A and B are shown apart, each in its own frame.
Chain A
C-alpha cells in the first residue's frame, strides 16, 4: 500500500519535474519572442522617422460610385454585411466652454458591406438610411481605411457639399458635391473597388470604414445649432 502510494507520489513528482520546466521553457520563449517583436518594431520605426514616413507615403484615393438608394449588389456581385450602427453623435456647445458629446439612436442607420469580384478586387460599400421622423441634409459621405499599423492611407470622399476647387487644391474632387436631402425611409450609398496596398511600405489596407455628416432644419427637434450629426461604421469593431 505504502509502496503504491509512494509510487503515485513518485509519478506526480516526476510529472511536476517534467511539466514545470516545460512551462518555464515555453513561457521563457514567449517572453523572448515578445521582447524581440517589440524591439524589432522599435528598430523599424527608428530607421525611418515618423516625419519621413508620414511625408513619403502617397494617399490611395479611389473614386467612389454613388447612388441615392440602397444597394445589395455591385456589378452583380452580392454584398455581405460587415457592420451597422444607429448611433449618431454631435457636439453641443455654447461656443465658450468645451463642448459635450451628444449621442442619439434612431436618427439614421449606417451599414458597411463588402464583396470580392471574380478578378480578386475588393468592394467596400456603405449605405445611410434615414430611419427617423424628419428629413435631414446629407452634407458629407466618406470612406477610408488604414493598415494594421494605423497608417490611414485610403481615402475616398463620395460626397462633400462644401467642395470648392480653390479650397480643395490638390485634393481630389468628391464624386458628388450637392447637398442630398434624405426623407424618412430614403437611403444613399457609395462604394469603392480595388486592391489597396500601401506600396511604399508594402502593407495592405486591412481596416476600413465609412462616415456620414448630416444636419436638420432649424425647426426640427434634432436641430443642434447648425452642428452636424455624424454616423460611422468600421470593420474593426
Chain B
C-alpha cells in the first residue's frame, strides 16, 4: 500500500513537473538552437564586414589588410588578397568590383579580384567610412559617421568619383545604410539625432521616423529591409531590441523582447520577414521570430572563445547566415548556420 502510494505520488509529481515545464517552455522568449550551427572557418585577424554572394563566394574584410574570399565552408577553403589598411565594411557588386570602406587611411577602395588592381577613393571629405551598400547600378553609398555624410562613390577606369551628401540635421552621426526600392533609394540611420531617413540616390533626404518618439528613445544602429514585404528592421544595441517598421508608412509595427546581448547588425532571414542578428558583446547569432516574438540562438563561444560579432549576412533562399567573430586577439572565425 505504502509503495503503491509512493509510486502514485511519484507519477503525479512527475506529471505535474512535465506540465509545468511545458508551460514554461511555451512562454520562454529565448531558446537555444545549437544543432543549427553548420560550420566555422578561421579567417585572417580581426574579421569585420562580410558579404555573401553565393555558396562558393563569400567575401570577408578580414583584418591585417586582408580580404578573404571563401569558396567553401566545408572544408574551409579561402583565397586571401592583401589590400592593406583596415578594411571595415565590404560589398561585392560584380566579378570585377569588390568595394570596402577602410579605416586606417580613411578611404573607400575598389578592388578587382580578377586583376588585383585597386582604385582608391580618398580625400578630406572621407573620415571614418562605415556601413556600405550599392544602388544596384554600380554606385556605392557609404555612411561617414565622423563627417555626418553619406558618400557616393563611382569607380572609373583608373580613378574614382566622390559625391558627398550631408545628412540633414545638427551633428548627424550616420551609421547603418541599406538600399530600398520602396523608398526610392536608401534608408539611412542618424544615430545622434535618433532618426531614420529616406535618401534618394541623388542625396535628397526625407524624414522617415524620429526614434525620439518611441519609448525610451534608444539609439538606432543598423538597418535591413525587404521591399517585397514592405518592411525594414532596425537594431537598438544598448536597449537590446529590434523594431520593425513599414517601408511605406515608417510606422513602428513591432518591438521585440529583450535579445540575449547587444544586438548589432541585422539581416532578413529565410521567410523574408524574420531577422538574423549578431551581438557586439558575445559570440551569438539569433533568429528573431516576428510571429512568436522569440529569439532562437546559436552560441559560438565554444568555437570562438570570448569572441564578439561584427559582420553579418544571410542567404534568404536557404535561410543561412554567415557571420564574422573575433576576440580582438587570436580567435577569429567566420561562422555559418541556419536557424529554423
Interface residues in chain A, defined as those with a beta carbon under 8 Å from any beta carbon in chain B: 13, 16, 20-21, 23-24, 27-28, 30-31, 34-35, 38, 41-42, 45-46, 49-59, 89, 91, 93-96, 98-99, 101, 139-140, 142-146, 149-157, 160-162, 164, 166-169, 171, 207-209, 211, 213, 215, 226-228, 230, 232, 234, 236
Whether the Cβ atoms of B192 and A51 lie closer than 8 Å is: no
If A30-B23, A50-B273, A54-B249 touch, whether A213 touches B214 (CB-CB below 8 Å) is no
Distance in angstroms between the alpha carbons of A90 and B252 in the assembled complex: 23
A-B pairs, top 5 by smallest CB distance, nearest first, are A95-B146, A54-B246, A211-B217, A152-B252, A95-B128
Which chain B residues (317-339) contact chain A, with CB distance < 8 Å?
none
- B10-30 residues with Cβ-Cβ distance < 8 A to A are 12, 15-16, 19-20, 22-23, 26-27
Stretch of B58-66, B154-162, B164-172 lying at the A interface = B164-172
B9 to chain A, nearest CB (A): 7
Say which residue of A45, A98, A167 sits within 8 Å of B291 (CB atoms). Answer: A45
- Decide if B213 touches A142 in the complex (CB within 8 Å): yes
Whether the pair A101, B231 counts as a contact (CB closer than 8 A) is no
Known contacts A51-B246, A93-B145, A227-B171, A155 near B206 by CB under 8 Å: no
Question: Which residues from A are CB-within-8-Å of B171?
Answer: 215, 226-228
Q: Are B207 and A59 in contact (CB under 8 A)?
A: no
A23, A58, A140, A230: the one within 8 Å of B16 (CB): A23
The answer to whether B117 has its CB under 8 Å from any CB of chain A is no
Please, which residues of chain A bring their CB within 8 A of the CB of B16?
20, 23-24, 27
Chain B residue nearest to A100 in the complex (CB)? B238
**Residues in chain A near residue B213, CB distance under 8 A:** 142-144, 152, 154-157, 211
Residue numbers in A under 8 Å from B169 (CB-CB): 162
A57 B9 Cβ-Cβ under 8 A = no
Known A-B contacts A27-B19, A144-B213, A232-B217; the reply to A96 vs B238 at CB < 8 A is: no
**B316 on interface, CB distance cutoff 8 Å:** no
User: Which residues in chain B, 109-136, are within 8 Å of chain A measured between CB atoms?
Assistant: 127-128
Q: Interface range on chain B: under 10, 10 to 19, 20 to 34, or 35 or more? A: 35 or more
Contact status B103-A96, CB under 8 Å: yes
- The residues of B that contact A226 with a CB separation of less than 8 Å are 170-171
Q: Residue A50 contacts which of B12, B197, B290 (CB distance < 8 angstroms)?
A: B290
B291: A residues at CB distance < 8 A = 42, 45-46
Flag if B217 contacts A230 (CB, 8 Å): yes
The answer to whether A50 touches B229, judged by C-beta atoms less than 8 angstroms apart, is yes
Neighbouring B residues of A154 by C-beta, 8 Å? 213
Cβ–Cβ contact B128 & A94, under 8 A:
yes
In the complex where A140-B212, A167-B207, A230-B217 touch, is A55 in contact with B191 (Cβ < 8 A)? Answer: no
Cα-based distance from A45 to B290 in the complex (angstroms): 9
Q: Contacts A50-B254, A162-B193; is A152 near B214 (CB within 8 Å)? A: yes
What per-residue 1/0 map shows which CB atoms of B193-216 lie under 8 Å from chain A?
110010000000111001011111
Contact assessment for A50 and B22 in the assembled complex, using a CB-CB cutoff below 8 Å:
no
The answer to the question of B81 belonging to the interface, with a C-beta cut-off of 8 Å to chain A, is no
Contacts of A228 in B (CB 8 A): 171, 192-193
CB neighbours (8 Å) of A215 from chain B are 170-171
Question: Once the chains are docked, how many angstroms separate the CA of A101 from the CA of B231?
Answer: 28
Q: Are the CB atoms of B252 and A146 closer together than 8 Å?
A: yes
Which B residues contact A (CB, under 8 angstroms)?
5, 9, 12, 15-16, 19-20, 22-23, 26-27, 103, 127-128, 144-147, 168-171, 173, 191-194, 197, 205-207, 210, 212-217, 219, 229-231, 238, 243-249, 251-255, 264, 273, 280, 290-292
The smallest beta-carbon distance between B259 and chain A, in angstroms, is 14
A144 lies within 8 A of B214 (CB): yes
Residues of A within 8 A of B192 (CB): 91, 227-228
Which residue of chain B has its CB nearest to the CB of A225?
Answer: B171
Which A residues lie within 8 Å of B215 (CB)? 144-146, 152, 207-209, 232, 234, 236
When the two chains form the complex, which single residue of A38, A150, A160, A211 contacts B255, counting CB atoms closer than 8 Å? A150
Listed A/B pairs (8) with beta-carbon separation below 8 Å: A50-B254, A95-B128, A149-B254, A152-B214, A152-B252, A157-B213, A168-B207, A211-B212
Closest to A236 in B: B215
Enumerate chain B residues within 8 angstroms of A96, measured Cβ to Cβ: 103, 128, 145-146
Q: Is the CB of A230 within 8 A of B194?
A: yes
A161–B170 contact, CB under 8 A?
Answer: yes
Question: Which of A38, A142, A208 touches B210 (beta carbons < 8 Å)?
Answer: A142
In the complex, what residues of B have CB within 8 A of residue A167's CB?
168, 197, 205-207
- Are B170 and A151 interface neighbours, CB within 8 A? no
Of chain B, the residue at the smallest CB distance from A139 is B170
Nearest Cβ in chain B — how far from A155, in angstroms? 4
Tell me, rounded to whole Å, the shortest Cβ–Cβ distance linking B167 to chain A.
10
| A54 & B231 in contact (Cβ 8 Å cutoff) | yes
* Interchain CB contact under 8 A, A146 and B214: yes
B210 touches A24 (CB 8 A): no
A95 touches B145 (CB 8 A): yes
B189 → chain A, closest Cβ, in Å?
12
